[in-house]
Amino acid sequence: MSIGRAPRSVAVVGAGPGGLYLAISLKLKNPAIDVIVHERNRPDDTFGWGVVFSDQTLANLKRNDPETAAAIEAAFVHWDDIDVHIRGETVRSGGHGFAGIGRQGLLNILQDRARSLGVDLRFETEIEDVRSLPADIIVAADGLNSRIRNGAPEVFGVDVDVRSNKYIWLGTTQSFDAFTFAFVETPHGWIWAHAYQFEPGASTFIVECSEATWRGLGFDAMDQDQTCRAAEALFADWLGGHALMSNAKHLRGSAWLNFPRVACANWRDGKVILLGDAAHTAHFSIGSGTKLAFEDAIRLAEALTGGEDLERALSDYEADRRIEVLKLQSAARNSTEWFETLDRYVDLHPLQFTYSLLTRSQRVSHENLRLRDRDFLESVERWFAATAGAPPSDRPAAPAFTPLRLRSLTLPNRIVVSPMCMYSAEDGTVGDFHLVHLGGRALGGAGLVFTEMTDVSADARITPGCAGLYRPEHRDAWRRIVDFVHAQGSRVAIQLAHAGRKGSVERPWGPRADQPLLEGGWTLIAPSPIPWTEGDQVPREMTRADMDRVRDDFVRAVGWAAEAGFDMIELHCAHGYLLSSFLTPVSNRRTDDYGGSVENRLRFPLEVFTAMRAAWPDDRPMSVRLSASDWVEEGLTPEDAVAIARAFAEAGCDLIDVSAGSTTPDARPVYGRMFQTPLSDRIRNEAGVVTMAVGNIYEPDHVNGILAAGRADLCALARPHLADPNWTLRTAAELGWRGVQPPVQYRAGFTQLARNLERQQQAGPV
C-alpha cells in the first residue's frame, strides 16, 4: 500500500513512553493533526520501576521539546558513579552522567503534556482489529509483546532471539547513591543485581543469573513473595534491611523472564508502522529501550509532518533509525553475552573485572574512561603495569606499552605486526623488499614483528611468490632480515605453514588473481579430496606417508629458523590451510583416526606441533594461529576452539593467535570493530591460555581496551601497519608515553611529534 500525502489523523496503539512521546511530537510539529492514543490498561498501571536516562538522551529531548524535557529533568535523581561489588571488594568509578525517574512518574508527565497539546488519550481500550481504526496512519507502540507485530510476523519479518539468563524486575525502598552492581557467589553459581535509585526512597533492583543457578537456588518453585524474600537474603549486605517487592502482581506465579531480542526486517505494513519495542529491543543491561523509543518518535514525527512525499519520508525514517538501532543492538548483544558468560570474568582482579564490566558493550573506550574518571583509569593502568612487571612510574604506562614475557623472550610492548603475505619472494627466497618491509616495521616500534606465512616446502606454497624455508639459501636470506631487526632492538617471529588445498594459484592481483596456475603448478594435498571452490584443483587425500613428510618438513624448517636467529615461531593452523583443514569439519571428512571427533581432527596438527616443539630451543616460545570460528553453522563450535587451544597449550604452546574464518568460501562473518576479539576473550578466559587478538583492531583505544579488560594479552595489527610502519611510535606520542625507545636515528622526529601533539591537546579544539 502506497501513501502519498501527509496524514490528517494518526492512531497510536500503546501509551508507553514511545507512544506518548510520538503523540506529543506530532502535535508540536502540526497542531492540526488529529492524534488519538489507545491503551488497554489504566493510566496508573505500570509494571516497571525506574527508567534510566543518559545525558545524551536528555539533550535529544531538550532539542525536540524543551518543556517536556524540563519537567522530566525536574523529577530526576542524578548520579555519576558506578559501584561494583565483587568478592568482598567495592570498586567505584565516576563521571558516567546518568539519571533515573520512576516509570509511573515519567508516564504522568507525558500524559499531562499530551493532553495539554490536544492529544486524545483513551485508556482501557482494547483494539481487536487495528486496521479498523479510522486513521490515515496507525502506529504500533504496544511494546515488547506487541499484538500488532505478532499478528503478522511474516509481514514484519519478525526475528526473536530469547536469551539464556533469567532475570526479574524488583523494587526496594533502599536508596543507592551510585548505579550498583552486586555479585554474589552461591553453591549453585553466581547471581547479581543491577540496582539504581529513580526517586528519593525508591530504587529498581533487577536480579539476574543463569538458568542453572536459578534452578539450583529453587527460584523455579517460588512465587513472587517467596522470590523477594529469598533475594533479600542473598543481597542483604546492600539492602540495609529494606524489603524487595514486585509490582507484577497481575502475573500468576513467577515473574522471572528471559530477555527476547526482537528485530524486524520490515517496520511497516501499509499504513501500520512499528515503533519502539514493537520493532526492536535492546537488553536492559545497557538501558536504551526508552532512549530508542523516544528517538524513533522524534524521527517518525518529522517524517509524518515534513510536507514531502510521505512514502519516501517513511522509507527514510526506517533507514535512518535502522542504522542507530543496529548500533545499539550490537552493543546490547555484547553486554548481554558478557553477563551470560560471567564465569569467565569472576576470577579477574576486581579492578580488571570492573574495567571489563564498564567496557563490555564497546561503547565506552579506554580514553573515554579517562575523560570520565582519570583516577579510576590510572588505578587500572597502575595495576596492569605492576602485574606486567613494568618499572614503577609516576605516570603508569598504558596497557599497550607494558612488557610481556614468554619463556625467555620479553616483549617491550603488546603491539604486534601481524603476519601478512606479500607474494614477493623468488622461488621461496625473500629479498630486499622483505628486508625493507619487515625492517621498516621493526624501526616503527612494535613489540614483535611477524614474518608473512612462510611455507615449509615448494608444494606448500599458496602462489609462486610465497616466502619459504625449505632450502638452506632461504635460511640465509631470513638471517639477514633477522639480524637487521635485532640490530634495531626489536623481536621477530616466523610463521610456518603449508597451504594445503588453497595452494598452486596465481598471486592475488592481476587478471587471473587467485586462479589455478596454468603453468608450473603442483599437486595439492589435504585431509579430504575437497577443492577450495569448484574451479580449483581437487586435492589428493593425504596418506600416512604424506603426513610423515609434511611433519618432517615442518621440523626441518624449525631447525633452520633457529639457525636464522628467530625469537619465536608460529604454527599456522588457521584460514583453511593444510593444518586448519584438518581441524575444521567443513574440510575434514575422513573416517580414520584423523577425522570425525574434534580429538581426531586435532591429532595430526598436534603431532606436527609436538615434533616442532621438540626441535625448537626450549627457552624460546612458540605460538599457534587458529581460526576459532568458521562462520558457518556446520563448522567449528566455540567449545571445539577452546578444546583445541587447551590441547596446544598442554603440548607446550605459549600463545594462541586467535583469528577466524577463511576456512570455507561459504563463510559469513559478522564484521565490525574488533570483531574477532570475543573469540580471543573466550579462549583466554575459558582455556586459561595467553592469547593474541587480531581482526579490525586499528586504534590505540582498541588495543588498550582489549588488554585492560583481559580479552587478550597481545594485539596484532595488519592493515594499520601497512598504512603506517611507525604506528606504534605514533601511538606512543599520541598517548604521551615516553617509555618507548625509538631508534636513535628517529628520536628527533619522535620528540617533535610528541611535543606538537602535547601542545595541540593543551590548546584544545580550535
Q: Which residues are catalytic?
A: 577
Helical H runs in 199-241? 211-216, 224-234, 236-239
| Closest by CA position to 97, among listed 468, 369, 395 | 369
Contact of 178 with 221, CB cutoff 8 Å: no
At residue 447, what is the residue type? G
495: β partners: 453, 570
Q: Alpha carbon 667 to chain centroid distance?
A: 19
Our measurement of the distance from residue 680's CA atom to the centroid of its chain's CA atoms, rounded to an integer in Å, reads: 11
Question: Which DSSP helix (H) or strand (E) runs through 366?
Answer: helix 366-372
**Single-letter amino acid code for the residue at 290:** T
Nearest of 667, 663, 657 to residue 689 by alpha carbon: 657
Residues 6+ apart with CB under 8 A from 142: 13, 14, 16, 19, 148, 149, 278
Cell of 32: 492540526
- Burial classification of residue 139, based on how many CB atoms lie within 10 Å of its CB (0-12 exposed, 13-18 middle, 19 or more buried): buried
Q: Which three cell numbers stand for residue 504?
A: 598452486
Q: For residues 530 and 535, give the distance between their C-alpha atoms in angstroms, rounded to a whole number.
A: 11
Scan for cell 616483549, then name that residue.
411
Amino acid found at 722: L
- Of the candidates 434, 456, 359, the one whose C-alpha atom is nearest the C-alpha of residue 673 is 359
What would the 3-class secondary structure string for 302-362 be? HHHHCCCCHHHHHHHHHHHHHHHHHHHHHHHHHHHHHHHCHHHCCCCCHHHHHHHHHCCCC
Q: Is 268 helix (H, G, I), strand (E, B) or coil?
A: strand
Q: What ranges in 488-633 are assigned the alpha helix state H? A: 544-564, 578-583, 598-615
What does the alpha-carbon distance between residue 325 and residue 719 come to, in Å, rounded to a whole number? 29
The DSSP code sequence of 394-455 is SSPPPGGGS-EEETTEEESSSEEE--------BTTB--HHHHHHHHHHHHTT-SEEEEEEEE
Q: Give the C-alpha separation, 147 to 161, whole Å.
A: 18
Helix (H) or strand (E) holding 208: strand 202-209
What is the Cα–Cα distance from 587 to 573, expressed in whole angstroms?
13
- Please tell me the distance from the alpha carbon of residue 289 to that of residue 332, in angstroms, as a whole number: 10
Alpha helices in 175-288 (DSSP H): 211-216, 224-234, 236-239
Cell numbers at 164, concatenated: 539464556
Residue 151 burial by Cβ neighbours in a 10 Å radius (0-12, 13-18, 19+): middle
Residues in the chain: 766
The C-alpha atoms of residue 61 and residue 211 are separated, in whole angstroms, by 38
Set of cell numbers at residue 51: 527508567
Beta bridge partners of 168: 207
Distance CA 507, CA 513 (A): 6
